Amino acid sequence: MVEEIVHKWGDVGYSGRAFSNKPGWWGSSHSTTPVESSLSTGGERTPIHVAFRGQYDYSLDAKNRVNLPPKFRAQLSDGLVVSIGFDPCLAIYTHEGFDAIQETALAGVNPISEKYRAITRRFNNYAFEADLDAAGRIMLRPVLLDYAGIDRSVRITGCKDYIEIWNPEAWQAAQDGTDILEVVGSLGDTA
């Protein structure tokens, strides 16, 4: 009977061994820690990733490294992609997230067209793979810092399935210039 209970304990994911090669607890109070699904498909469980949320202020160190918020680190533990953002900021994605947004942008575009090449360059020329160090930091390359106008202070914001890193003044200007009610109210408008 004890063996059956221990076996079920592993099945529900408290040990982490049934779903990952990483030890430890996979469901926590941290909003971005991956939590294993209780539903299985074909005998395999699929991880559910909770959104990146919130805003945090940090500073770059002398080697252009920045700490990422502890709540974001679990989802990025297998590596990340840091790239220029669509606004004057940097964007951090999981590998899967970066591939998914690139595929979405290229969907239906002729692969030998100039547009396809431009999109591919935009995504890949300024994208760098990185890993969190033991302190939860990543190094930001000078070309990325120049693009975002970042000197030392940064504002890190969660954007559901990716993270943005902003110069705090540029972030505030972008927020001041956006009327979210107007944006949401225009959704679905055809004109």
Distance CA 182, CA 162 (A): 24
The 10 Å CB-count burial string (b at 16+, else e) for 17-51 is eebeeeeeebeeebebbbbbeeeeeeeebeeebee
β-pairing verdict for 153-158 and 55-59: antiparallel
User: In this predicted structure, what is the pLDDT of residue 17?
Assistant: 37
pLDDT digit string, tens, across residues 144-182: 999 999 999 999 999 999 999 999 999 999 888 777 777
**pTM summary value:** 0.70
Secondary structure E strands in the chain: 35-41, 44-48, 55-59, 65-67, 80-84, 90-93, 128-130, 137-139, 153-158, 163-166
Instruction: Give residue 16's pLDDT band: very low, low, confident or very high (50, 70, 90).
Output: very low
Instruction: Give residue 190's pLDDT band: very low, low, confident or very high (50, 70, 90).
Output: low
Q: Which two tokens stand for residue 125?
A: 């020329």
Instruction: Give residue 184's pLDDT band: very low, low, confident or very high (50, 70, 90).
Output: confident
Instruction: Give residue 187's pLDDT band: very low, low, confident or very high (50, 70, 90).
Output: confident
Residue 33 pLDDT exceeds 60: no
pLDDT digit string, tens, across residues 120-145: 999 999 999 999 999 999 999 999 99
CATH dotted code for 55-173 = 3.40.1550.20
User: In this predicted structure, what is the pLDDT of residue 47?
Assistant: 52
User: In this predicted structure, what is the pLDDT of residue 58?
Assistant: 97
Q: Which two tokens stand for residue 66?
A: 């920045």
User: In this predicted structure, what is the pLDDT of residue 49?
Assistant: 58
pLDDT digit string, tens, across residues 40-95: 445 554 554 568 999 999 999 999 999 999 999 999 999 999 999 999 999 999 99
User: In this predicted structure, what is the pLDDT of residue 182?
Assistant: 76
DSSP string computed for 138-188? EE--HHHHHHHT-SSEEEEEE-BSSEEEE-HHHHHHHHHT--HHHHHHHTT
CB 134 within 8 A of CB 65: no
Q: Which two tokens stand for residue 39?
A: 């539903």
User: In this predicted structure, what is the pLDDT of residue 180?
Assistant: 72
Ranges of CATH 3.40.1550.20 domains, the chain? 55-173
C-alpha distances in Å from residue 24, one per residue of 8, 74, 83: 16, 12, 31
β-pairing verdict for 65-67 and 137-139: antiparallel
